[in-house]
């Protein structure tokens, strides 16, 4: 069953519950440090207001563990949203209950109310039926525009949906699904996938799902050391998931069988201890000495990966090539970011560090699609669906 987008519903005079993803980083002063996710939700919010809806926005922030914690209040997000909308945006004292209902009763068409952090209630993450029903009692229409949260079976994403006849997705969700579905359905070859990050376990399912579709797969970051270990190449003190080595060997065999070009680092930037200011050196080849650990890809690897990227017509990238948060071990990631941005390919990027690399380099406008959900994008590409979308069907 096809998902219905918000622009297909009659919204005038209706209370519209929009699940957004305002799980944004906060600065030391408590202000929103990066408002990307709030900005991405604006088209859906604007549309609902223009149609005369009373708009309720619901999100989680951080991990307050089912208890009220002022440090995780959505107040900064509500204030930033008000600035972006250039209109007052109120914050409810809670996300359910009589006080919220009373505040709702005072709202008029076009008004926006941000509900307080859903995770102040343990019932959100437990997908508690009573909590889900209490959330549903607030509104007439349910819209999921929180792509980054839709891989979680929580009350606001899955449990409450069954209580609505009018239910669908927002404009951001539609954009995310369209971009990622293009990678699954008809990716224009050569399709090059770049995977990095710490754990191969997070992406081994994705690798298996993508192997029938890709021509080249580039693997960097710490996950490359587990793959290198599976190939019998020395990894020194580098991070390795020993329990995944056998599974990786199976994936390597399938890649070979499908004639997928699997590119791994040809050299590494290595240190004796992972810390800022550590003295680094470059290995002459793939082997890492016993007393050292890898922290980034080396210059030979950068050139090898860049050549593959330049040939691509379709690119998916998730995960940095090194310890991105400690310069200069971000050089491999930044070099690939510049190369991806310079191509004319259809490019999709997901994952916090990868998005940060692109944004910090000022290259975001040269990427076809930047996903707002790292984990959600991986799960969608692996399974072709998400719990939050399945609930709507």
Report the distance separating Cα 131 and Cα 122, nearest Å: 9
Pairing of strands 191-195, 314-318: parallel
Q: State the pLDDT at residue 179.
A: 95
- Tell the residue number behind the tokens 């690119």, with chain if given: 315
Task: Tell me which of 199, 306, 313, 366 is the catalytic residue.
Answer: 199
Listed residue (146, 125, 113, 151) closest to 67, CA to CA: 125
Average pLDDT for the chain: 95
Pairing of strands 166-169, 141-144: parallel
- Structural domains present in the chain: 6-176 (3.40.50.1260), 186-381 (3.40.50.1260)
Q: Are 30 and 76 in contact (CB under 8 A)?
A: yes
pLDDT in tens, 68-92: 999 999 999 999 999 999 999 999 9
Q: Could you tell me the strand order of the sheet in which 141-144 lies?
A: 90-91, 112-114, 54-58, 15-19, 141-144, 166-169
Task: Tell me which of 66, 110, 352, 366 is the catalytic residue.
Answer: 352
Q: Could you give the maximum distance between any two Cα atoms of the chain, in Å? A: 69
Report the distance separating Cα 288 and Cα 237, nearest Å: 8
DSSP structural state of residue 155: I
pLDDT in tens, 156-197: 999 999 999 999 999 999 999 999 999 999 899 999 999 999
Q: Are 243 and 199 in contact (CB under 8 A)?
A: no
Q: State the pLDDT at residue 219.
A: 97
- Predicted confidence (pLDDT) at residue 18 exceeds the cutoff of 90: yes
Q: What is the mean pLDDT of residues 229-244?
A: 94
Please name the residues in contact with 108: beta carbons below 8 A apart, sequence gap of 6 or more: 54
**375 belongs to the catalytic site:** yes
Higher pLDDT, 356 or 234: 234
Task: Tell me which of 19, 37, 49, 175 is the catalytic residue.
Answer: 37
Q: How confident is the model at residue 1 (pLDDT cuts 50, 70, 90)?
A: low
In total, the chain counts a number of residues equal to: 393
pLDDT in tens, 341-375: 999 999 999 877 888 888 888 899 999 999 988 88
**30 belongs to the catalytic site:** no
Q: State the pLDDT at residue 353.
A: 80
Task: Tell me which of 62, 110, 205, 375 is the catalytic residue.
Answer: 375
**14 belongs to the catalytic site:** no
* DSSP-based three-state secondary structure for 129: helix
Q: State the pLDDT at residue 98.
A: 95
pLDDT in tens, 258-299: 999 999 999 999 999 998 888 999 999 999 999 999 999 999
pLDDT in tens, 309-353: 999 999 999 999 999 889 999 999 999 999 999 999 999 998 778
Q: Are 292 and 273 in contact (CB under 8 A)?
A: no
Report the distance separating Cα 228 and Cα 73, nearest Å: 44
Q: State the pLDDT at residue 343.
A: 96
- Angle (deg, nearest 10), helices 171-185 and 374-383: 50
Q: State the pLDDT at residue 329.
A: 94
C-alpha 133, offset from chain centre? 28
Task: Read off φ and ψ for residue 350, nearest 5 degrees.
Answer: -140, 165
DSSP sequence for 317-354: EES-SS-TTSTTTTHHHHHHHHHHHHS-SEEEEESHHH
Listed residue (220, 221, 238) closest to 229, CA to CA: 238
Report the distance separating Cα 374 and Cα 63, nearest Å: 17
pLDDT in tens, 89-124: 999 999 999 999 999 999 999 999 999 999 999 999
Q: State the pLDDT at residue 216.
A: 97
Report the distance separating Cα 332 and Cα 312, nearest Å: 19
pTM score: 0.90
């Amino acid at each position: 069953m096809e998902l219905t987008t918000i622009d297909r519903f009659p919204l005038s005079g209706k209370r519209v519950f929009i699940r957004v993803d305002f799980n944004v980083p906060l600065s030391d002063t408590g202000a929103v440090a990066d408002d990307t996710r709030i900005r991405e939700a604006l088209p859906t919010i604007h549309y609902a207001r223009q149609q005369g809806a009373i708009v309720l926005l619901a999100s989680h922030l951080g991990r307050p563990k089912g208890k009220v914690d002022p440090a995780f209040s959505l107040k900064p997000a509500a204030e930033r949203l008000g600035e972006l909308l250039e209109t007052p945006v109120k914050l409810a004292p809670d996300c359910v209950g009589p006080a919220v209902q009373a505040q709702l009763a005072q709202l008029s068409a076009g008004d926006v109310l941000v509900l307080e952090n859903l995770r102040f209630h343990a019932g959100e993450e437990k997908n508690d039926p009573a909590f889900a029903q209490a959330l549903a009692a607030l509104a007439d229409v349910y819209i999921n525009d929180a792509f980054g949260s839709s891989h979680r079976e929580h009350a606001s994403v899955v449990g409450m949906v069954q209580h609505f006849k009018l239910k669908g997705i927002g404009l951001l969700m539609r954009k995310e699904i369209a971009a990622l579905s293009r990678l699954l359905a008809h990716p224009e070859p050569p399709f090059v996938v770049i995977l990095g990050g710490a754990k191969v376990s997070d992406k081994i399912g994705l690798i298996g799902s993508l192997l029938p579709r890709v021509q080249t797969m580039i693997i960097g970051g710490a996950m490359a050391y587990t793959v290198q270990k599976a190939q019998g190449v020395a990894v020194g003190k580098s991070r390795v998931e020993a329990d995944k080595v056998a599974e990786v060997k199976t994936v390597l065999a399938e890649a070979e069988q499908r004639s997928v070009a699997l590119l791994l680092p040809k050299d590494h930037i290595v240190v004796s201890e992972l810390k800022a200011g550590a003295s680094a050196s470059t290995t002459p080849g793939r082997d890492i000495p016993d007393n050292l650990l890898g922290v980034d890809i080396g210059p030979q690897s950068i050139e090898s990966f860049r050549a593959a990227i330049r040939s691509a017509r379709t690119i998916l990238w998730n995960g940095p090539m090194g310890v991105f948060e400690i310069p200069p071990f971000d050089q491999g990631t930044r070099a690939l970011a510049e190369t991806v941005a310079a191509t004319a390919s259809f490019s999709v990027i997901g994952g916090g560090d990868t998005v940060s690399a692109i944004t910090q380099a000022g290259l975001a406008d040269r990427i076809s699609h930047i996903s707002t959900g790292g984990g959600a994008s991986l799960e969608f590409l692996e399974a072709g669906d998400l719990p939050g979308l399945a609930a709507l069907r």
